[in-house]
Chains A and B, each alone.
Chain A
Amino acid sequence: MFYREAGDFSTTYPQDSQTFPIKFDRYRYYVVLVIAFGIIPFIINDYWANAVFVPFLIYAIAAIGLNILTGYCGQVSLGTGAFMAVGAYSCYKLMTAFPEVSMLIHIPLAGLITAGVVTIFGLPSLRIKGFYLAVATLAAQFFLVWLFNKVGWFYNYSASGQISAPQRDVFGIIVTGPNTAAWAKYMICLVFVTICAVLARNLTRGTTGRTWMAIRDMDIAAEIIGVNPLKAKLTAFAISGFFVGIAGALFFSVYLGAAEVGESFGIDKSFLVLFMIIIGGLGSIFGSFAGAAFMVLLPVFLKNVFVGWLGWPTDLAAHLQFIISGGLIIIFLIMEPHGLAQLWRVAKEKLRLWPFPH
């Protein structure tokens, strides 16, 4: 009834090509933004920030990054965890080397450094395809984790081998270190998520995104119609790396505070982010958010149910979590290979016809 384009006329080209052409969608988007920026920061507390919102927002950035590479450009990567580590460690090095510079500069810089590293590891994608490439990215995963463990320079020769975030601020508001307020953590993540999502959305619907999708659908055919595979693949790796690097930097500096590379950025992180984009929907920005929310909320939910209500031991809950997330992946792949984003699309289609479906 409300959700339809009838009566919503575009009179200019920018109007015609806007992200949300349907009025209802547009207003919904503004409402979400207002709630996220204007209401949640005032009511958020430590538990909600640390257990739900901050990890959700950070993983959403990582999922957008991986979705660009895997969902839009079709290059499966199992190295996301290590690429996040690159972001985290470069952020750490920048934070300790230039203490007076704002985090708003450090984090994108960490993203840029990660983009460079990921592009180097993306070079073999020009020769290697499919599974072979997926396995090749494992080389990045294991090599980088080993490197950050072995070379003292990366963790400033700290005795524990850990990196821990010193206290830094943005315009006088503390955003890292142990004295950070919950809302400040939330806000800095939210700002980066918003920028990344808008950036990703516009990249993927422009020329760059179309060349990626052409490569994904069939790279030889794309090459024949004039897409440059070198450029397309490497830009996908670089931009994906930029987002993943930002996510890694935030994950370490804002969320964890202290990190050990094998534990925080191991191969399970790579799979976690991969699961997010499968469940959320490959090749969809909304799907990245939905998948991240799902995979962040699932353990919280299961823990509350099994440990909180039923009083089972935590290791049992952990096993069940494995079973349930594995099972859900399979169910999603069988029932809806395009993920939550597709369910959302179907719901919107239905809504447009409602209440007269015929």
Chain B
Amino acid sequence: MPDQVLFAMEVMLNGLMAGVLYALVALGFVLIYKASGIFNYAQGVMALFSALTLVGIMEGQVPFSHLINAIFGTDIHHFGWHVPALVAIILTIAVMILFAWLVQKVIFRHLVNQEPILLFMATIGLAYFLEGFGDLMWGSEIKRLDVGLPQGINEWIDLTTFEAFGYGFFIDNLDISATIVAIFLVAGLIVFSQYTKQGRALRAVADDHQAALSVGISLNFIWVLVWSVAGFVALVAGIMWGAKSGVQFSLSLIALKALPVLMLGGFTSIPGAIVGGLIIGVGEKLFEFLIGPMVGGATENWFAYVLALVFLVFRPQGLFGEKIIERV
């Protein structure tokens, strides 16, 4: 096979892996949107916040140490212990559940029955708040996150492809583990929503709020639940991205990348989020590889949006979205 084709294949595979990560973020959006009609712009910041919390707990950082030092003139940074990754993850999940409960209690309870666009803007406010809060709590410098996932080039794929095609593919172990985790996560979510009582209640709420209320499902509980699940998904996405490129502010920008994924897949469809993520991941990598050099590179910044935009003009509800029916 000619080199060019092999390169393209490698780029495509890497694109698929990146797409899985986009899909992970997009999944959190879809969950909340389905259950409560809230388009949660803060999903990316939730990923950032959960990753920050995880690192903070693992490293034994003192929360708000920066603020405390500024007020009292002290100089404290760390408790001096290291928490094992698994315990830290469980603690972070607890923090995300608490966060979900607070969001529900303090913000969205008071915004029931408001227009969707107002809810969306409230989540933008929430994103700003959480971003500042996370930085204040754990400090804003770039942190390394290492929960024991394998990193670096996968030797086996490199060798096998070298023997088969005479050219070794470079695929990061981390991307492979991200894909595996994502598959498990999606499988887990499917099992949860199909076979558990809470999952069924969740689907009922997503289907019809009033009907769900009338058979005795507590909307409040479901909303807290779905925000917690979204927080968990955000944590997984945060771990993966954080392990890849460090825990830093730009993590919250991947939320923006998830938006075209959602548009492509449709806001209400979980398979849509995954397929959309893969299409965007492969599309932007291939475009950068094939067309990028001709127009000066860095096309990854906008390609996803423009692709989604062009696509939407032909199919306004996305690939798998429910058909939009409007009545006067």
Contact A333 B129, beta carbon cutoff 8 Å: no
Collect the chain B residues with CB atoms within 8 Å of residue A139's CB.
260, 302, 305-306, 308-309
Q: Interface size (A, Cβ < 8 Å)?
A: 50
Q: Is A254 part of the binding interface, using a Cβ–Cβ cutoff of 8 Å?
A: no
Please pick, from B128, B299, B302, B309, the residue contacting A325 in the complex, using a CB distance under 8 A. Answer: B128
DSSP majority for the A interface? helix
What is the CB-to-nearest-CB distance from A271 to chain B, in angstroms, rounded to a whole number?
7
Collect the chain A residues with CB atoms within 8 Å of residue B328's CB.
218, 220-221, 224
Contact B313 A128, beta carbon cutoff 8 Å: yes
Contact B132 A323, beta carbon cutoff 8 Å: yes
For window 105-120 of chain B, which residues contact chain A by CB distance below 8 Å? Answer: 107, 110-111, 114, 116-118, 120
Collect the chain A residues with CB atoms within 8 Å of residue B107's CB.
330, 334
Stretch from B8-16, B133-141, B207-215, B269-277 forming part of the interface with A: B133-141
Closest B residue to A121 using CB positions: B309
Contact B308 A220, beta carbon cutoff 8 Å: no
Q: Is B230 part of the binding interface, using a Cβ–Cβ cutoff of 8 Å?
A: no
Please pick, from A130, A218, A220, A267, the residue contacting B256 in the complex, using a CB distance under 8 A. Answer: A267
What is the CB-to-nearest-CB distance from A161 to chain B, in angstroms, rounded to a whole number?
12
Contact A322 B316, beta carbon cutoff 8 Å: no
CA A321 – CA B128 in complex, angstroms?
9
Collect the chain B residues with CB atoms within 8 Å of residue A136's CB.
263, 305, 308-309, 312
Contact B125 A333, beta carbon cutoff 8 Å: yes
CA A218 – CA B327 in complex, angstroms?
10
For window 271-328 of chain B, which residues contact chain A by CB distance below 8 Å? Answer: 295-299, 301-302, 305-306, 308-309, 312-313, 316, 318, 324, 326-328
CA A74 – CA B70 in complex, angstroms?
44
Collect the chain B residues with CB atoms within 8 Å of residue A325's CB.
125, 128
Contact A135 B305, beta carbon cutoff 8 Å: yes
For window 290-348 of chain A, which residues contact chain B by CB distance below 8 Å? Answer: 310, 312-313, 315-316, 319-330, 333-334, 337
What is the CB-to-nearest-CB distance from A330 to chain B, in angstroms, rounded to a whole number?
4
CA A146 – CA B326 in complex, angstroms?
36
What is the CB-to-nearest-CB distance from B195 to chain A, in angstroms, rounded to a whole number?
31
Q: Is A76 part of the binding interface, using a Cβ–Cβ cutoff of 8 Å?
A: yes
CA A221 – CA B302 in complex, angstroms?
35
Collect the chain B residues with CB atoms within 8 Å of residue A157's CB.
none
Collect the chain B residues with CB atoms within 8 Å of residue A134's CB.
120
Closest A residue to B312 using CB positions: A128
CA A329 – CA B260 in complex, angstroms?
25
Centre residue among B111, B262, B263 by max chain A CB count within 10 A: B263
Collect the chain B residues with CB atoms within 8 Å of residue A220's CB.
326-328
Q: Is B227 part of the binding interface, using a Cβ–Cβ cutoff of 8 Å?
A: no
Q: Is A30 part of the binding interface, using a Cβ–Cβ cutoff of 8 Å?
A: no
Contact A337 B114, beta carbon cutoff 8 Å: yes
Contact B305 A142, beta carbon cutoff 8 Å: yes
Closest A residue to B114 using CB positions: A337
| 0/1 string, A120-147, CB within 8 A of B gives 1 | 0000100111111011101101110110
Q: Is A118 part of the binding interface, using a Cβ–Cβ cutoff of 8 Å?
A: no
Q: Is A61 part of the binding interface, using a Cβ–Cβ cutoff of 8 Å?
A: no
Q: Is A276 part of the binding interface, using a Cβ–Cβ cutoff of 8 Å?
A: no
Contact A146 B299, beta carbon cutoff 8 Å: yes
What is the CB-to-nearest-CB distance from A195 to chain B, in angstroms, rounded to a whole number?
29
Please pick, from B66, B122, B124, B316, the residue contacting A127 in the complex, using a CB distance under 8 A. Answer: B316
Closest B residue to A317 using CB positions: B70
Contact A143 B136, beta carbon cutoff 8 Å: no
Contact A329 B262, beta carbon cutoff 8 Å: no
CA A21 – CA B263 in complex, angstroms?
47
Collect the chain A residues with CB atoms within 8 Å of residue B86's CB.
none
Closest B residue to A76 using CB positions: B117
Q: Is B121 part of the binding interface, using a Cβ–Cβ cutoff of 8 Å?
A: yes
Centre residue among A127, A138, A220, A328 by max chain B CB count within 10 A: A138
> Contact size class for B?
35 or more
Given A139-B306, A220-B328, is A128 in contact with B316 using a C-beta cutoff of 8 Å? yes
Q: Is A150 part of the binding interface, using a Cβ–Cβ cutoff of 8 Å?
A: yes
For window 252-269 of chain B, which residues contact chain A by CB distance below 8 Å? Answer: 256, 259-260, 262-263, 267
Collect the chain A residues with CB atoms within 8 Å of residue B131's CB.
322, 326
Q: Is A274 part of the binding interface, using a Cβ–Cβ cutoff of 8 Å?
A: yes
Contact A333 B121, beta carbon cutoff 8 Å: yes
Please pick, from A131, A310, A337, the residue contacting B116 in the complex, using a CB distance under 8 A. Answer: A131
Collect the chain A residues with CB atoms within 8 Å of residue B327's CB.
220
Collect the chain A residues with CB atoms within 8 Å of residue B132's CB.
319-324, 326
Q: Is B48 part of the binding interface, using a Cβ–Cβ cutoff of 8 Å?
A: no
Please pick, from A127, A143, A149, A319, the residue contacting B313 in the complex, using a CB distance under 8 A. Answer: A127
Contact A322 B118, beta carbon cutoff 8 Å: no
Collect the chain B residues with CB atoms within 8 Å of residue A326's CB.
125-132
Q: Is A60 part of the binding interface, using a Cβ–Cβ cutoff of 8 Å?
A: no
Q: Is B67 part of the binding interface, using a Cβ–Cβ cutoff of 8 Å?
A: yes
Contact B126 A330, beta carbon cutoff 8 Å: yes
What is the CB-to-nearest-CB distance from A25 to chain B, in angstroms, rounded to a whole number?
29
CA A224 – CA B327 in complex, angstroms?
12
Q: Is A278 part of the binding interface, using a Cβ–Cβ cutoff of 8 Å?
A: yes
Given A135-B259, A322-B131, A334-B107, is A274 in contact with B124 using a C-beta cutoff of 8 Å? yes
Contact B122 A333, beta carbon cutoff 8 Å: yes
Q: Is B39 part of the binding interface, using a Cβ–Cβ cutoff of 8 Å?
A: yes
Contact A333 B118, beta carbon cutoff 8 Å: yes
* CB pairs A–B below 8 angstroms (14 shown): A132-B312, A135-B305, A135-B308, A136-B305, A141-B305, A146-B299, A146-B301, A274-B121, A312-B70, A325-B128, A326-B127, A326-B128, A334-B110, A334-B111
Instruction: Give me the interface of B with A, judged by CB distance under 8 Å.
Output: 39, 66-67, 70, 107, 110-111, 114, 116-118, 120-122, 124-133, 135-136, 140, 256, 259-260, 262-263, 267, 295-299, 301-302, 305-306, 308-309, 312-313, 316, 318, 324, 326-328
Given contacts A136-B309, A141-B305, A326-B125, 18 further A-B contacts (CB under 8 A): A124-B309, A127-B312, A131-B120, A134-B120, A135-B259, A136-B263, A136-B308, A143-B306, A145-B302, A274-B124, A315-B140, A319-B132, A319-B140, A325-B125, A326-B132, A328-B125, A333-B118, A334-B107
